[in-house]
Each structure stands twice: as structure tokens, then as C-alpha cells.
Structure 1
């Protein structure tokens, strides 16, 4: 009798260990009355070994009538292209990189080439788009592919199920338009700072830290990332904190409160950094009177 008991015990232990080992990101249970919603923190680039997802978020997706994302990046590629042209490209190349004072232009062109970007190919891009492009370059160096982003994977699961609708918390025009609000000279400064951080290795270290925190659901590491963001007073750091995070978190929280009030078992998936710190979405939800429990 002892052998079957040992086998069963070992199997249960192994199952628990596998579930624990597969935890990634951050998962919260949000409750309002009789309704429950799962709030999941994602990264926008990934690797094949991220999937299948951890069983609890997988089960939540299987029961979800609605998946709410920041954006459904695959919804309308043509519309996305038009919005990129509207917000992310200068009307003429003369307003972009080729039109900068010679010394500044040469410094930037040299730094871009070091990162594998040919200046002639990006001359009409606004600096903020170059910063986003550089972030993707760094992610690729670390082995992460935007096509394997967690939010995109969740959207594919929802659409393939045939029973989970996908809604967006924001519009592409709104989200991309935020970057366009930064004064152009500040954008050039942010690009210079980003290139300097890439040359020093800081940019890669911080990207690696965020991905590692996601992969191990490391709450302490995520709080360190949040603290660094709160203390970063560079042009890019302040913009990220004040506009890309704080300004967006409040409306996201409002929409989540509305969703859980009217619907049971929805899943909301947003970028991991929206879920950390004193101004993160979980804290804002608590202030709005809904119950928030951290699963991991």
C-alpha cells in the first residue's frame, strides 16, 4: 500500500512544482459583488518556451467571455500603418535626422550604425519611434521576439476559441499619439540618452531585468523596476512615468471596474509595468472600491 501512496504524493508534488515553475508575470483576482476578473501582466515580446501559459491563466482564458487588451495589435494592420504615418513620421526627411545640425546628426548616425540601424533607412522617423525600434533591437539581442509577445498570444487564443471576444482598453490612435505629445527636441534628447545607455550596456541590463522578472514572477524584482522608474528624472524616464504609465493607469482602472461590474470571468491583460508601484492599476482598483487579491 505504501508504494501507491508514495507515487500519488510524488505526482501531486511534481504537478505543484511544475505549476509554480511556470508562473510568469503577475496575476491578480479582481472581485466586485459576485463577479470575478483576472488581471494579468504581460510583456510585448516573448520566446517559444513561454507557451503554453501557466495553468491558472490558461484556465482563466478558457472560461473568459471577454479578453481586454491595451490594444489588439493584429486587429487592422492597414489602419495601424496609417496611424504610424500620422504620428511617427515627419512629413519630409529634412525635418528628421538629415535636417539636424551636422555635429549632432553625425553623432546620432554613428551611434545608430553601432546598433545595426542604417540612418538612411530611418531618416524620416520621429525620434520616439527610433527609441521604440531600439528597444525591439535590444529585445531581439536577448532572444525575445515581438511576434511572440504575450498579449498577441492571448489574442490568438481568444480568437481561436470562437467564444471569447477581444476588446481594447485604448485605441491605437490614442496610444501612439501620446508619444507625439513630447516636444521634438525632447525626443532627440531621449534618443541620445537611449543610444548612450545601449553603448554602456545599461539599456540591455534593464531590459534583461524586466524580462527575467516576468519569467519568474519575481515580485521583489518588479518593485525594484518600479522604484527605478519612480526615480528616473531623465527626459525619457519622466515621460514614461508621467505619461505612459500614470496618465494611462487611471482610465485603465476605470474600464476594468466597469468590466467586472457587468461581467463575470473576464480576463484583462496589460503590460507588466502597469501593475507595479503605488500608481499601478491594482492599487488604483483598490482605491475604486473593488477587491484585489494577488495570485502571484
Structure 2
């Protein structure tokens, strides 16, 4: 599960939207959800000591008790911050009534990325070829075992790309593809919407313009900037769990529904340790994709909050912990309280 588990929590929906592949888009698929096993619950019975460690660390993680937060400061109309998950499972993607009401009273709505249309994602990928593929003769194939690379080729083919391009794709992109199960890709291809897009649709219904705290290009640069050896280490472990993608998605859903997002990182590291990958392999991942982006999102969100009546929705892991958006906004003098 490893890196793809966390990618599913706080990356944009590029993998599901752009790499949907030649899948049959049946209308009834969109109403279904993918089915899998909660791997955290499984861990409770198969490795209780590890489970206890994961949950102990989760309980020590700040600001995990809600998905909707109210942001207040004297003299400014209140704003809201919502934790999303970038998947289409109907248990997640139904917009809560309190969030709908907050959007209806908002003057501005911001997502991680303003435009996640197929066209926008394709354009960003086309402009970022050096971030997506190796150049200068370097290949992914030479950095993996024959068995591992065979799995990569399968993942690439399942995503609708020619298997032959797998040789030059960068490791982060394969991990990103692994972050989206075949079932989830089918749901998106059939028209199912992730929670972020439900927020956007609700805002547009109210005549509000959507702004982005980041761009797709910035997200791609963040992914590509993780040291290559760490990308390879995370990918190697992820490939070991390539046949459990639906289980990964179910684990994410259950963490979100149970307000146990604080378990995500310790659970990730526990699985990596079991596969022989040290926690240090995730240092670049945590700094670049979480800590640095949290600070950037805060800086982009503050001007909107200062104008009052803003609604901001970003991936759940960006809110939690001592360096999450809830804590960072409090450091800026805002009162941030749990709503739901």
C-alpha cells in the first residue's frame, strides 16, 4: 500500500481523470461504490501490537476530530475549511448539509486546484514532460526487478497507456496510478464525481467562481522533486500491494468516516517497515507533498479568509497535525473550531 495510500489522501484527481483508459462508461456504475477490506481493521487482528502503535500515534495527532471547521476572527465574517478525499465513493462524495449551507453563504470557494477538467489535466501533463518521463537514457526498468517491472507494465496498461512507455515513466507517476484502483477509474469514467468536484458544482450552482490554492503544474513539480531513490523505494513497496488497491481505498474511506485520518501516516510507515523500507524513505514525501504544500495553501487561503465568507476545501491530510492547516491558521490569529 505504502506511498499510493497517502497519494490517495492528498493528491488531486489527475490519476482518475486523466488515466481513465478505455473503460466502458455505464450509467449504473456511477451509483455504485468499490468494495474492499479495511486493512487497518485487518491489522488489528493480524498484528495487534502494530495496530496499537498506529492508533496510539493517531490519537496524539491534533485536529483529526472533524472534516468541517469554522474560521473566525474579530471584524471578519466567518469562513469554513473542509477536509476532502479525492475519491468518488458515495459514502465520501455526498456533500454534508452543513457544508452546503456554508457554501450558500460564501463569497468565494477555493479548492486545491481550480480546474480539474480533462483538458486542464492533459495540458498540464503535456507541459511537464520532463517531470513525467526520464530523459538522457535513464529508465525505470533498470531500477526494478523483472517481476516488479512486469507489474508496472500491467499498471500502465490498465491505465489506458501503451505498456511500452512504462520503461521511461518516473516512479512518482506509477505510484500515482497505483493510488487509483481499477474500480475507481471505472466509476470516474462512468461519471461519478469526487467530493472536491461536488463542492465545485455546489458553488457554481450558487454562481460562485472557483479559485485554486495551487495549480496542477505545481503539484506535478512537487511530486517530481522527491529524491529519486525515495521514489523508487516507495514504489517498490507499493508494487508489493498492487493487488490490494480496492482494500487501500476502503481503508482510506474508513479512516475518513471514523475521523481517524491521524492514523494514515503511522499506518503507512508500519506497512513500509514490514516490507523492509525505512521511515526515512518518506522524508521527502512528507516535506514536499505535505509540509511545504500546507504552508503554501495557508498563504493562498489567508487573503480569501481576510475578505470573509470563504469556503476552502482541500485533502484531509492537509488539515491534521501540528503543521496542518488548522494549526497554521491558528498561528495566524484565527479561531478555528470543529463543526462536523
Scaled to the shorter chain, the TM-score interval is 0.7 to 0.9
Distance 1:51 1:61, change over 3 A: same
Listed one character per residue, the Cα deviations across residues 58-79 of structure 1 (whole Å, up to 9, x for unaligned) are 1112222211111122273453
Structure whose CA Rg is larger: 1
How much does 1:121 deviate?
4.3
CA distance in structure 1 between the aligned counterparts of 2:177 and 2:226, rounded to whole angstroms? 17
Partner of 2:89: 47
Structure 2 CA distance for partners of 1:276 and 1:254, relative to 1, 3 Å: same
Q: Matches of residues 135-154 of structure 1 in structure 2 within 5 Å?
A: 135-137=179-181, 140=184, 145=188, 148-154=193-199
Aligned to 1:223: 262
TM-score norm. by structure 2 comes to 0.67
> Is the contact made by 2:121 and 2:216 (CA closer than 8 Å) also made in structure 1?
no
1:255 to 289, 295, 300: 300
Structure 1 residue 31: Cα displacement: 0.8
| Cα contact 1:25–1:42 (8 A) shared by 2 | no
Match of 2:138 among 85, 91, 95: 95
Is contact 2:87–2:93 with CA below 8 Å preserved after alignment?
no
User: Are 2:235 and 1:194 aligned?
Assistant: no
Partner of 1:30: 71
2:326 aligned with 1:285: no
Per the alignment, do residues 277 and 81 of structure 1 end up closer, same or farther by CA in structure 2, a change over 3 Å counting? same
Residues 112/144 of structure 1: CA separation in 2 closer, same or farther (3 Å cut): same
TM-align CA RMSD: 3.0
- Closer/same/farther in 2, CA of residues 39 and 187 from structure 1, 3 Å limit: same
What does residue range 176-191 of structure 1 map to in structure 2 within 5 Å?
A: 176-191=220-235
Distance 1:249 1:31, change over 3 A: same
**Runs of at least 5 residues in structure 2 that lack an aligned partner in the other structure:** 1-64, 273-277
Residue 45 of structure 1, CA deviation: 1.3
1:247 positional shift = 1.3
Q: Distance in 2 between matches of 1:76 and 1:130?
A: 20
**Deviation for aligned residue 1:52:** 4.5
1:226 and 1:293, CA in 2 relative to 1: closer, same or farther beyond 3 A? farther
Instruction: Give the aligned partner of residue 158 of structure 1.
Output: 203
Deviations 1:177-234 (CA, angstroms, capped at 9, x unpaired): 01111233332222112112335x5x765542221222x2x22x22222544688754
- Following superposition, the deviation at residue 241 of structure 1 comes to 1.8
Q: How does 1:8-157 map to 2 (within 5 A)?
A: 26-33=67-74, 34-48=76-90, 50=92, 52-72=94-114, 73-74=116-117, 76-91=120-135, 94-98=137-141, 100=142, 104-112=144-152, 117=158, 119-137=163-181, 140=184, 145=188, 148-157=193-202
What is the alpha-carbon distance in structure 1 between the residues aligned to residue 95 and residue 216 of structure 2?
26
Partner of 1:17: none
Change (3 A) 1:78 1:127: closer
1:46 match: secondary structure: coil
SS in 1 for 2:126: helix
Distance 1:25 1:149 in 2: 19
Aligned length: 261
Scaled by the length of structure 1, the TM-score of the pair is 0.76
Three-state SS of the structure 1 residue aligned to 2:110 is: strand
Distance, in Å, in 1 between the alignment partners of 2:279 and 2:151 is 19
Residues 54/287 of structure 1: CA separation in 2 closer, same or farther (3 Å cut): same
Tell me, yes or no, if the aligned pair for 1:257 and 1:290 is still in contact at 8 Å: no
